[in-house]
Amino acid sequence: MKADAMFHVKHPDVVDVLVIGAGHAGAECAWAAARRGARVRLLTQNLDTIAKMSCNPAIGGIGKGHLVREIDALNGIMPRAADASALQYRVLNRRKGPAVRATRAQCDRRLYQMHVRHLLDAHPNIGLHQATARQLVFDGDQVVGVVDELGMLHQARAVVLTTGTFLGGLIHIGESKFPAGRFGDAAVDSLTDELYHREFRLGRLKTGTPPRLDRRSIRWDELESQPGDPDAWPFSMQVSSLPRDQLACAVTRTNERTHEIIRENLHRSPMYSGEIRSTGPRYCPSIEDKVVRFPEKSGHQIFLEPEGRDHEEIYPNGVSTSLPLDVQWAFIRSIEGLEQARIIRPGYAIEYDYVDPTELQPSLETKKIRGLFHAGQINGTTGYEEAAAQGLLAGINAAARALDLESWVPDRSEAYLGVMVDDLVTRGVMEPYRMFTSRAEFRLHLREDNAEMRLGEHAIRLDLYDEERIRWHERRRERIERAMHEVRTAFVGTGAGWRERLAALGLPVPPQGMPLASYYHRPDVRSDKVLQLIDGAASLEPRERASLLAMIHYEGYLDKQQQDIERFRKLEGHRIPEHFDFASVQGLSIECRQRLSECRPRTLGQAARIPGVTPAAISSLMLHLHGERA
């Protein structure tokens, strides 16, 4: 639709950034853009469902918790809302090294929504507007606004699409299917047509959710209780304590009878009847998919998770399904502790449209349309945390586009956010993308405990911190660096003074003097006691001591990884001109030329990560670029 096309009325206020959709990506996007000084309008179908937890009422997890810490380091809202609504915290991968340990919080889904809404309402640069976006408005290859379903034109200098599962959304429950963005909310179809006409590559993906159960109908006394961890840390660095009364979850399992019911009704599942052809998340399969793919398993674990303190809804994590409702009743009631369970919301699968993320620049601005950004599930990702992190980055860069500010994209060595964005824009997706620690080459460096140390300086430069947080960040950095310098220079001796000091702490005397970092790794040495040998550790806050222990734990390995990071950044420093003609490079195969021309990598490093581009092709490209600059 052109800028001079017909519409009924113009909104009286032109904004800098217009955000379409108010899920986790949209809320974070609006907040980040507003923090940078942009005037923002957040357009959503229903103001009462802002940041609604459509599926699992939890924040964090392996890889995902790292993203939430990074959102906090960039002063986002997801960590604050999670901490304000937390029912229970758990530390995952506790037995593994600190790099892959992750925090997960079970949340009160209503309180979470209310807290996000409160933050958005309170920001003077953010305006909320209830409407459904119908058409994008363009001036040449520049987006200039959106027309809603009432014919109102909303003009903006940048537009961010955060449409979640609403774009062409289609719900499946057994033989029934109907258009919806999620159960109870209308789908959006016209924007897909707009993107198609602009020659964006579109596809279909699928996700799903389990039925919800009535708490009062569950036999809790028969089930294993899973309490929260009292030694976890809140997500926000501004929050220091956990809820006093963490709610327990419970654990049960499917059984052979459950699997028999599911197998007998597979022909009624839209996944197996042929109704659903799109790809679902590999790492979060439906219960019918688990039964088919893992026939040797006699049971699958189910976590019964409360959705709030003031209502009776329970989320049975592990039984996502699109089977008919009568089959859902039957297999749920075959599970221990759920023999009398009542379903109060059906489980379902939902198909939706997404845009191939290789259509994006790393800033999440589309390559074809200036000022148009995408964030969240429209980019082929799954999960609240992935969506929020993308929303934050899109908001930072949409504000930069609108206000002529500095744009910013973290690289793979700086943040899981950088890993995710690079994966998306370089490799695209074949299935819904989910973050894992295994995706990061530099994960020893990308830990939960040091997210603010990695990203705080960026946040300050981008005006995301207020003066108080800047001072707090600088004091924290100074304390940790001082203590780590002491670790690297300290030497544990064997003289009388050292013997007395070590004996007082219950620590062994080494056979000969050794660096403190080496002494720490002895199997007979307690790590928490070692910190008492460091004078600077006394001034550290508990979280800072945990970060210091992580650095000592990986001492040596981090030095080696830093060398890898420097080599990585050297390759990233080889820039490729924006309109470079890859066909002009001798020695490139036709496949390599096609892949490079489609992706349009910005650096040699990004080019090297494109599937199908060989090391020999990178060498040819490097030689060609050096020849041009000579």
Tens digit of pLDDT for each residue in 420-470? 999 999 999 999 999 999 999 999 999 999 999 999 999 999 999 999 999
Structure tokens at 218: 């569950």
3-state class percentages of the chain: helix first, strand second, coil last, to nearest 5:
40, 20, 40
Hey, CA dihedral for 393, 399, 402, 403, is it positive or negative? negative
CATH label of the domain that carries residue 25: 3.50.50.60
Rounded to an integer, what is the distance from CA 369 to the centroid of its chain? Answer: 25
Number of structural domains found in the chain? 3
Amino acid at residue number 380: G
Say what the pLDDT of residue 3 is.
Answer: 47
Same domain for 187 and 138, yes or no, is yes
Q: Are residues 93 and 14 in the same domain?
A: yes
Per the domain annotation, does 123 fall within a domain?
yes
Helix axes 78-85, 109-122, angle to 10 degrees: 140
Based on the fold, state whether residues 20 and 109 are members of the same structural domain. yes
Does residue 245 sit within a domain?
A: no
Are 366 and 450 in the same domain? yes
Shared domain check, 512 and 418: no
Give the list of residues 6+ apart from residue 374 with CB closer than 8 angstroms, or none.
160, 161, 162, 355, 357, 360, 364, 366, 394
DSSP 531: G
Cα diameter, the chain: 89
The residue among 326 and 193 whose pLDDT is bigger is 326
From the number of C-beta atoms within 10 Å of its C-beta (0-12, 13-18, 19+), residue 303 rates as: middle
User: Is there a domain that residue 146 lies in?
Assistant: yes
| Residues 181 and 107 grouped into a single domain | yes
Contact between 73 and 447 under an 8 Å Cβ cutoff? The reply is no
Task: Please tell me whether residues 52 and 181 are part of one structural domain.
Answer: yes
- The parent domain of residue 596 ranges over 574-625
242-262 per-residue burial string, b: 16 or more CB within 10 A, e: under 16: bbeebbbbbebbbeeebbebb
Strands 152-161 and 9-10: parallel
> Would you say residue 319 lies in a domain?
no
Domain membership of residue 304 (yes or no) is no
17: Cβ contacts below 8 Å, ≥ 6 apart: 29, 30, 33, 38, 39, 40, 41, 156, 157, 158, 159, 160, 395, 398, 399, 402
81 and 177 part of one domain: yes
Q: How confident is the model at residue 574 (pLDDT cuts 50, 70, 90)?
A: confident
Could you report the per-residue pLDDT of 295-343, keeping only the tens digit for each? 999 999 999 999 999 989 999 999 999 999 999 999 999 999 999 999 9
* pTM score, whole prediction: 0.94
41, 150: one domain: yes
Q: DSSP E strands: which ranges in 81-200?
A: 86-92, 102-107, 126-130, 133-139, 142-148, 152-161, 170-173, 176-179
- Which residue among 461, 482, 497 closes a domain? 461
pLDDT exceeds cutoff 80 at 216: yes
CATH of the domain at 536: 1.10.10
Q: Are residue 377 and residue 495 in the same domain, yes or no?
A: no
Asked whether the predicted pLDDT for residue 630 surpasses 50, the reply is no
Asked if 394 contacts 424 with a C-beta cutoff of 8 angstroms, the reply is no
Residue 607 belongs to a domain with what CATH number? 1.10.150.570
- Give a yes or no: residue 120 inside a domain: yes
Q: How confident is the model over 81-134, as pLDDT tens digits?
A: 999 999 999 999 999 999 999 999 999 999 999 999 999 999 999 999 999 999
End-of-domain residue from the set 414, 446, 461: 461
Regarding whether 613 and 472 lie in a shared domain, the answer is: no
Any domain includes 495:
yes
